[in-house]
């Protein structure tokens, strides 16, 4: 059936609001700060047969938009006809549902008139799910079993009845069972709310009208995507960048893309990317496809969160590459790999349409875990990710100290981290001289220095950009490299692999220090207004010698 534009707009807003309410429910009820404060979670509505994304909330992580479609399809295939109202499936298997084992997925069918109308899904980053490293970012893992407990899709609820044996298995495989149980209940409540809201919508408008709206939204998303691509010049452009290493062998790993535009079709071919590796920088094919979606959404920000935008795209992911890893290859550091995928897509698009993209952002989440026992024997695990600078753009300088472009997840506030864990942040500041020079410079990275307040603890780092700096665009310069150091017996140490290390034993009063990259610059540095260079020096963003080296001495002649 056809649907009038006003009804379509109303239903689109109502369905997006359902996903937004599910997001808010989990954020307010989750026990761990990665969900509650950083908002590392997402909710959405998915097609009843294909699992394709129909609607996603505005607060959820963009990378989960495409990945959850694979997760929902996995449940559809597993469930078959074994479905009832109130069923909920749960799993974290990254090779089935994408991303990594820390992301726990709950999938629930929504019935209308005795049939599945759509699926609701919730994904959230749990604090710890076993494995060799607290917090689950193990840079030395060579198989998934060293990263975390692996749970395939199983029924958590059958016709509304909680399967306590499944819960018991999960809670037995985490260092922080209270946190895990709280997050689980938060996700279940979010799905319950989503079903209630969707039931009310279907009762008000009827299933046929809502289905027509969903079909129309997907078709319009496709039309918008085709129009955006058709506005770009035809041609083929290539780009290459590198991961530092896989955490096992100290050798750079290339990620390559060829971007080709033909009319309203966009092809991305990742042939030439490194093969699957021993260490945990592999990703599943579903994650790679979802990453392409995120990059396209950055390039064309007007596109909606709907699978229809993927219809004009042809994506080639080579078999056997680290972008199509098979079980049980480790995938814990997936964030670092998809950040580099976005970087190469942006670099290729900068050649085709430089006004559409920004220079590279800082390119690593710097997943840092510090864990130990309190004086009374209680276990504690502080896991967090850390920010850096975003790339300069055609419109202006990059954002200082932002979050990673794969997500909307924010860095937990220092007050929350210090209140929850026995640590003190001795420094949390912008990092001078970290931005890439350009007509529009990159944003600044940050400095985080963390002191241990307990007797002993172990620290673990999973980062990138320690050897290959974020690149500029349109003639802009590179940003500073990532730098991690730690204190042992009064001396500062540097990890042998630059950006990855396990088993750093800390004693009371010892510190770890992260100096994160800035963003790449946009446009030739010689075109930067000397007054803006002088302002950066005055604010301490840039040292005088660094300013001379990047921009010349002209800024010194600026009055005041």
Report the DSSP pairing between strands 446-452 and 511-515.
antiparallel
The residue with tokens 């890893």 is: 325
pLDDT of residue 57: 84
Burial 100-109 (b: 16+ CB within 10 A, else e): bbbbbbbbbb
C-alpha 234: how far from its chain's center? 30
Torsion of Cα atoms, 176 then 177 then 179 then 181, to 10°: 160
The CA distance from 509 to 347, in Å, is: 43
- The pLDDT assigned to 41 comes to 93
Whether a cis peptide bond, with omega within 30° of 0, leads into 328 is: yes
Distance spanning both ends of the chain, measured CA to CA: 68
pLDDT at 408: 64
Compute the distance between CA of residue 47 and CA of residue 70 in angstroms, rounded to an integer. Answer: 11
Helix H, strand E, coil C: the string for 19-69 is HHHHHHHHHHHCCCHHHHCCCCEEEEEECCCCCCEEEECCCCCCHHHHHHH
Quick check: 260 and 482 in contact, CB under 8 A? no
d(CA 434, CA 437): 9
Distance CA 459, CA 495 (A): 12
Both tokens of 99, joined, read 């991303």
Instruction: Look up tokens 């997050």; give the residue.
Output: 183
Order of strands across the sheet that contains 265-269: 235-243, 253-262, 265-269, 313-316
- Placement of tokens 């035809």 in the chain: 234
* Of 243, 242, 214, 332, the residue nearest 284 (C-alpha): 332
Provide the pLDDT for residue 406. 77
- Per the DSSP assignment, residues forming a β-bridge with 423 are 452
Tokens at 80, concatenated: 């078959």
Q: Is the peptide bond before 519 cis (omega within 30 degrees of 0)?
A: no
Instruction: Please tell me the number of Cα atoms within 13 Å of 49 on its side-chain side.
Output: 2
Distance CA 188, CA 90 (A): 10
pLDDT tens over the chain, length 560 residues: 788 999 999 999 999 999 999 999 999 999 999 999 888 999 999 999 999 999 988 887 778 877 899 999 999 999 998 999 999 999 999 999 889 999 999 999 999 999 999 999 999 999 999 999 999 999 999 999 999 999 999 999 999 999 999 999 999 999 999 999 999 999 999 999 999 999 999 999 999 999 999 999 999 999 999 999 999 999 999 999 999 999 999 999 999 999 999 999 999 999 999 999 999 999 999 999 999 999 998 999 999 888 899 999 999 999 999 999 999 999 999 999 999 999 999 999 999 999 999 999 999 999 999 999 999 999 999 999 999 999 999 999 999 999 887 766 678 889 999 999 999 999 999 999 999 999 999 999 999 999 999 999 999 999 999 999 999 999 999 999 999 999 999 999 999 999 999 989 999 999 999 999 999 999 999 999 999 999 999 999 999 999 999 999 999 999 87
- The Cα-based distances of 159 to 82, 105, 186, 236 in angstroms read 11, 18, 19, 52
CA atoms within 13 Å, Cβ hemisphere of 118: 27
Concatenating the DSSP letter of every residue in 153-212 gives: SEEEEETTEE-HHHHHHHHHT-S-HHHHHHHHHHHHHHHHHHHHHHHHHHHHH-HHHHHH
Write out the two tokens for 417: 């981290």
Integer Cα distance of 92 and 204 in angstroms: 35
DSSP state of 262: E
pLDDT on residue 398: 97
Q: Residue 358 and residue 395: Cα distance in Å, rounded?
A: 9
Between CA 289 and CA 387 the distance in angstroms is 24
Phi-psi region of 109 (alpha: psi -120 to 50; beta: other; left: phi over 0): beta
Minimal CA–CA distance to 529: which of 509, 510, 554?
Answer: 554
Measured CA to CA, the distance from residue 277 to residue 274 in angstroms comes to 8
d(CA 431, CA 410): 18
Secondary structure of residue 307 in the 3-state scheme? helix
Structure tokens at 98: 């994408």
SS3 497: coil
**C-alpha–C-alpha distance, residues 136 and 34, integer Å:** 13
């Amino acid at each position: 059936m056809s649907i009038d534009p006003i009804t379509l707009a109303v239903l689109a807003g109502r369905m997006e609001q359902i996903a937004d309410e599910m997001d808010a429910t989990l954020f307010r009820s989750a026990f761990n700060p990665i969900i509650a404060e950083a908002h590392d979670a997402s909710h959405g509505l998915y097609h009843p047969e294909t699992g394709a994304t129909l609607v996603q909330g505005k607060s959820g992580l963009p990378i989960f938009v495409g990945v959850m479609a694979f997760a929902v399809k996995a449940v559809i295939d597993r469930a078959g006809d074994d479905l009832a109202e109130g069923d909920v499936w749960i799993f974290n298997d990254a090779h089935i549902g994408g991303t990594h084992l820390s992301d726990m997925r709950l999938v629930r069918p929504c019935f209308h008139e005795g049939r599945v109308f759509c699926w609701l899904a919730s994904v959230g980053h749990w604090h710890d799910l076993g494995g060799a490293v607290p917090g689950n970012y193990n840079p030395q893992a060579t198989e998934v079993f060293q990263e975390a407990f692996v749970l395939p899709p199983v029924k958590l609820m059958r016709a509304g009845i909680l399967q306590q044996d499944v819960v018991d298995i999960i809670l037995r495989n985490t260092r922080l069972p209270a946190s895990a149980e709280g997050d689980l209940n938060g996700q279940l409540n979010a799905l319950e709310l989503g079903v209630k809201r969707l039931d009310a919508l279907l009762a008000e408008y009827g299933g046929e009208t809502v289905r027509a709206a969903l079909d129309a939204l997907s078709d319009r998303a496709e039309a918008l995507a085709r129009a955006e691509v058709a506005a770009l010049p035809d041609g083929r452009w290539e780009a290459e960048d590198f991961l530092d290493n896989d955490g096992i062998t100290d050798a750079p790993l290339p990620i390559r893309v060829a971007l080709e535009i033909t009319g309203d079709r966009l092809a991305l071919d990742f042939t030439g990317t490194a093969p699957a590796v021993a260490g945990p920088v592999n990703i599943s094919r579903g994650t790679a496809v979802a990453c392409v979606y995120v990059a396209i959404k950055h390039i064309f920000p007007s596109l909606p969160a709907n699978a229809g935008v993927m219809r004009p795209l042809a994506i080639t992911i080579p078999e056997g590459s680290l972008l199509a890893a098979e079980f049980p290859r480790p995938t814990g550091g997936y964030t670092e790999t998809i950040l580099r995928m976005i970087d190469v897509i942006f670099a290729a698009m900068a050649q085709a349409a430089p006004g559409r993209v920004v220079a590279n952002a800082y390119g690593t989440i710097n997943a840092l875990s510090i864990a130990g026992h309190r004086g009374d024997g209680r276990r504690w695990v502080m896991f967090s990710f850390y920010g850096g600078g975003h790339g300069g753009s055609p419109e202006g300088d990059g954002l200082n100290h932002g979050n990673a472009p794969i997500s909307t997840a924010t860095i937990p506030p220092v007050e929350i981290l210090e209140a929850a864990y026995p640590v003190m942040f001795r420094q949390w500041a912008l990092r001078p001289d970290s931005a890439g020079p350009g007509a529009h410079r990159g944003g600044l990275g940050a400095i985080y220095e963390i002191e241990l307040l307990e007797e002993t603890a172990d620290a673990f780092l999973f980062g990138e950009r320690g050897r290959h700096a974020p690149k500029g665009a349109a003639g802009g310069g590179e940003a500073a490299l990532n730098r991690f150091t730690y204190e042992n017996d009064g001396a500062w140490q540097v990890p042998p692999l630059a950006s990855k290390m396990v088993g750093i034993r800390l004693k009371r009063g010892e510190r770890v220090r992260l100096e994160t990259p800035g963003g790449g610059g946009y446009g030739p540095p010689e075109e930067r207004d000397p007054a803006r260079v002088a302002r950066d020096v005055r604010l301490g963003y840039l040292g005088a010698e660094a300013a001379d080296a990047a921009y010349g001495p002209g800024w010194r002649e600026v009055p005041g």
